[in-house]
């Protein structure tokens, strides 16, 4: 079992990243060889202020460590330091089909009506993601639900490469398959955390409203205010879980509560049914502050020592290259480039 996953340094690390992915990263570190990447090349598919980018790379790295990832046990690095990702990405561009990319819903959502004006990188982004995973022959990829379609695309690309070059793979490796088909692991505490302002939209660092998300480095007052002002409806809290179906904002608050407290949705409803939102919000604020603020404090401490963060990234990049370099070399031989 080899685990690979990545997070973009494109703004604030938020509760969605934490409950959808990072909590799972932490639990996997004791079960498998884990590679966690700050995907800086993905982040520049939309404009990143150059003077902020390196700081953001440091912040994500600090977020990994502050959440409990041991830099000695896991390979932690930033994508642009390992050239194999970009080189394999070009090769996989020639394997992936245009029709497959045209089906990617994330591109459609991000580009909206403005797609002619988007970077080519935003469109081919899932191919770089496939390269990230396949360059390590990772078997498992822990992600939030929004990344499922991209992992499926990575599987399709791996499968097509294995089929296209079947004879060469057989001849050179004596195996019938070269790339491993990666499996998505979508079992974080909350696979899809929604915006605090709109229960139908996912929580995201690109949302213009900071009130829509809890950032991991938010302080107690910010968390208190964001939960207090989070959107709700006019009903009271029901006792039956099925009543959450048409109440997306309430469902989201209960899911976050459940993700942090590890209690089931039903148990939480049993505790709060018949109550006003204010009580649920007060308790939720308390458990969020207890979980998130210590991580935020630790992140700030780590960021204040940039040379330590740089040493983690450098060491991680060396270890990552030791795995991906021979895989890329073999890929080139199979294709006939070497």
143 counts as binding ligand TYM under rule CB under 6 A: yes
Query: Which of 169, 195 has the CB closer to ligand TYM?
Result: 195
Question: Which residues in 154-193 contact ligand TYM (CB under 6 A)?
Answer: 191-193
Burial of 276 from C-beta contacts in 10 A (0-12 / 13-18 / 19+) = exposed
146 counts as binding ligand TYM under rule CB under 6 A: yes
13 counts as binding ligand TYM under rule CB under 6 A: no
CB of 120 to ligand TYM, least distance (A): 16
CB of 18 to ligand TYM, least distance (A): 8
Annotated binding residue at 114? no
Query: Which of 169, 249 has the CB closer to ligand TYM?
Result: 249
Which residues lie closer than 8 Å to 42 by C-beta, 6 or more apart?
6, 8, 79, 125, 128, 129
11 counts as binding ligand TYM under rule CB under 6 A: no
Q: What are phi and psi of 2, to 5 degrees?
A: -120, 125
- 300-309: long-range contacts, CB 8 A cutoff, minimum separation 24: 300/217, 302/61, 302/62, 302/65, 302/66, 303/55, 303/58, 303/59, 303/62, 306/58, 309/58, 309/61, 309/62
* Per-residue mark of binding to ligand TYM, 193-212 (x: CB under 6 A): x--------xxx--------
CB of 212 to ligand TYM, least distance (A): 10
Question: Which residues in 60-119 contact ligand TYM (CB under 6 A)?
Answer: none
Count of beta carbons in the 10 Å neighbourhood of residue 51 = 7
Residue listed under structure tokens 């938020």: 14
- For residue 10, which of 212, 143, 218, 204 has the smallest C-alpha distance? 204
CB of 228 to ligand TYM, least distance (A): 20
Report helix, strand or coil for 194. strand
Residues that bind ligand TYM (CB under 6 A): 4-8, 16-17, 20-21, 39, 42, 129, 132-133, 141, 143-144, 146-147, 150, 191-193, 202-204
Per the annotation, binding residues for L-tryptophan are: 132
């Amino acid at each position: 079992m080899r685990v690979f996953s990545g997070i973009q340094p494109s703004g604030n690390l938020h509760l969605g990243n934490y409950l959808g992915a990072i909590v799972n990263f932490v639990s996997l570190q004791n079960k498998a060889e884990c590679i966690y990447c700050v995907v800086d090349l993905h982040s520049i598919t939309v404009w990143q202020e150059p003077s902020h980018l390196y700081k953001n790379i440091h912040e994500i790295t600090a977020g990994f460590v502050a959440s409990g990832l041991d830099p000695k046990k896991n390979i932690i690095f930033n994508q642009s330091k390992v050239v194999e990702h970009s080189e394999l990405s070009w090769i996989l561009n020639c394997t992936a089909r245009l029709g497959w990319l045209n089906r990617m819903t994330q591109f459609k959502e991000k580009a909206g009506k403005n797609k002619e004006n988007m970077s080519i990188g935003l469109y081919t982004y899932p191919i770089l993601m496939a390269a990230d995973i396949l360059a390590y022959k990772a078997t498992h990829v822990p992600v939030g639900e929004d990344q499922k379609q991209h992992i499926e695309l990575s599987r399709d690309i791996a499968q097509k490469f294995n089929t296209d070059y079947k004879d060469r793979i057989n001849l050179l490796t004596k195996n019938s398959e070269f790339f491993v088909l990666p499996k998505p692991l979508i079992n974080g505490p909350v696979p899809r955390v929604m915006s605090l302002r709109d229960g139908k939209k996912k929580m995201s660092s690109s949302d213009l409203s900071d009130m829509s998300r809890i950032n991991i480095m938010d302080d107690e007052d910010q968390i208190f205010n964001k939960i207090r002002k989070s959107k709700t409806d006019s009903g009271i809290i029901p006792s039956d879980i099925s009543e959450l179906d048409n109440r997306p904002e309430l469902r989201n608050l209960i899911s976050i509560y459940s993700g942090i407290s590890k209690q089931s949705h039903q148990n939480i409803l049993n505790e709060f049914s018949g109550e006003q939102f204010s009580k649920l919000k007060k308790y939720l604020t308390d458990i969020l502050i207890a979980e998130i603020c210590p991580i935020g404090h630790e992140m700030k401490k780590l960021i204040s020592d940039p040379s330590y963060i740089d040493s983690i990234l450098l060491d991680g990049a060396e270890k990552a290259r030791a795995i991906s370099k021979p895989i890329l070399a073999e890929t080139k031989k199979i294709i006939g480039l070497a």
